[in-house]
Amino acid sequence: MSPDEILKFLRLSYTALSDGALLVLIALALVLIYKATDVINFANGEFMLIGGYIGYQLLIWLQVFESPGLIVLLAIIGVVVMTTLIGVLVERLVLRPLIGEPIISVIMVTIGLSNVIQAIVGLIWGKNPRPLPIDIIPRFSPFRIELEGARRPLNLLPDTLIILAVAFVLVGLLLLFFRRSKHGIAMRATADDQQAAMSMGISIRFIFALTWSLAAITAAVAGLMIAHVTNGVSGDIHNVSLRAFPVIILGGLDSIAGAIIGGFAIAFVESFSSGYIDPSVKTVAPYIVLLIVLMVKPYGLFGQKRIERV
């Protein structure tokens, strides 16, 4: 490989890392809900949208404080609190009345919900993109990688690393929650066998509300970071959510490990196909890979089948 090619490879990989981290979070939000309730949440993108816009609004209101660090911290806490409430509210007002109805009705309702949220966001904040008043991730100067014989040096933004770190911490916390905490174990138990979980005294309603809140928080954090990457909030945030569908199908709808590996895999496929083949291939390439994988593994890479003892 020539020096230029090496740098190009590095650049494409680096892009894929931050994209991958975001896709992981978005996919995770979908997987959480699917695992617990068998529902594919078509309003996931709107949870991201809400996260972005609430973050934007809080950043504006919090300008009364001096320190940008404090403003960002409070804004993030605010987003988490608000989206938790929204998750609970959605579960209680929209989804709980549907308990016992066919899954397909619930899925249709999430499609309806996505339209409603878009309309509300449009009413409050309008259609035009709005820049964030302060950066949520500090803008450090890029690293510069120079190679002898290369025509141009490669500049890499440190933001990618911070996004990766945020995703890493969030995913780590979630995994810890599922392995160690009583409610996390109860969530997995509920995913396995709802009625048996009820017989343990686990309240399914509480678990569902918790699930929707955790998913909403995860999606909102992704939304905030996309707002940072795209220099502001706009209706486009929720479009990114569509790219998470091949991720969860690739990884297996109910697998957290699948969401993580699938997220990075799809991001690399997107980045390399657009870099090495043609930018227009970027949107189809994930689906081509997906088709090939599903031919071999119909439940996705990590999808759970019922355990059959032999």
Partner 1 sequence: MLSLNNIEVIYNDVILVLKGLSLQVEQGTIVALLGANGAGKSTTLKSISGLLRPENGEVTDGEIIYEGKPIQNREPAEIVRAGIFQVMEGRRVFEHLTVEENLRAGGYTTNSKQHAERAELVYNYFPRLLERRNHVAGFLSGGEQQMLAIGRALMAQPRLMMLDEPSLGLAPMLVQGIFEIIKRINQEQGMTVLLVEQNANIALSIADYAYIMENGRVVLEGKPNDLRQNADVREFYLGLTEVGSRKSYRDVKHYKRRKRWLS
Task: Write down the least CB distance from residue 262 to partner 1, Å.
Answer: 19
Phi/psi for 128 (5° steps) reads: -75, 145
Q: How far, in Å, CA of 244 to CA of 112, rounded?
A: 19
Residue holding tokens 């490879």? 9
Helix (H) or strand (E) holding 308: none
Q: Which is nearer to partner 1, 141 or 195 (CB)?
A: 195
- Nearest alpha carbon to residue 16 among 273, 228, 296: 273
**DSSP 3-state assignment of 187?**
helix
Per rule CB under 8 A, is residue 101 in the interface with partner 1?
no
Task: Write down the least CB distance from residue 309 to partner 1, Å.
Answer: 6
Per rule CB under 8 A, is residue 102 in the interface with partner 1?
no
Distances (CA, A) of 216 to 166, 173, 220, 281: 16, 15, 6, 31
Number of shown-chain residues binding partner 1 (CB under 8 A): 23
Stretch 20-79 residues interacting with partner 1 (CB under 8 A): none
Q: Under 8 Å CB-to-CB from 188, ≥6 apart: which residues?
A: 35, 178
Task: Write down the least CB distance from residue 180 to partner 1, Å.
Answer: 10
Q: And the tokens for 4?
A: 């230029």
Q: Which is nearer to partner 1, 100 or 149 (CB)?
A: 100
Per rule CB under 8 A, is residue 98 in the interface with partner 1?
no
Task: Write down the least CB distance from residue 84 to partner 1, Å.
Answer: 22
Q: What string marks each residue from 174 to 213 as x (binds partner 1 by CB under 8 A) or -?
A: --------x--xx-xx-xxxxxxxxxxxxx----------
224 touches 37 (CB < 8 A) = no
- Nearest alpha carbon to residue 30 among 203, 183, 167, 211: 211
Task: Write down the least CB distance from residue 33 to partner 1, Å.
Answer: 17
Per rule CB under 8 A, is residue 128 in the interface with partner 1?
no
Q: What is the DSSP letter of 18?
A: H
Per rule CB under 8 A, is residue 165 in the interface with partner 1?
no
Per rule CB under 8 A, is residue 309 in the interface with partner 1?
yes
Task: Write down the least CB distance from residue 190 to partner 1, Å.
Answer: 9
- Nearest alpha carbon to residue 227 among 81, 83, 75, 51: 51
Distances (CA, A) of 229 to 55, 222, 244: 14, 10, 17
Per rule CB under 8 A, is residue 307 in the interface with partner 1?
yes
Task: Write down the least CB distance from residue 192 to partner 1, Å.
Answer: 4
Q: Which is nearer to partner 1, 67 or 199 (CB)?
A: 199
Q: Which is nearer to partner 1, 205 or 297 (CB)?
A: 205
- Binding region for partner 1 (CB under 8 A): 100, 182, 185-186, 188-189, 191-203, 304, 306-307, 309
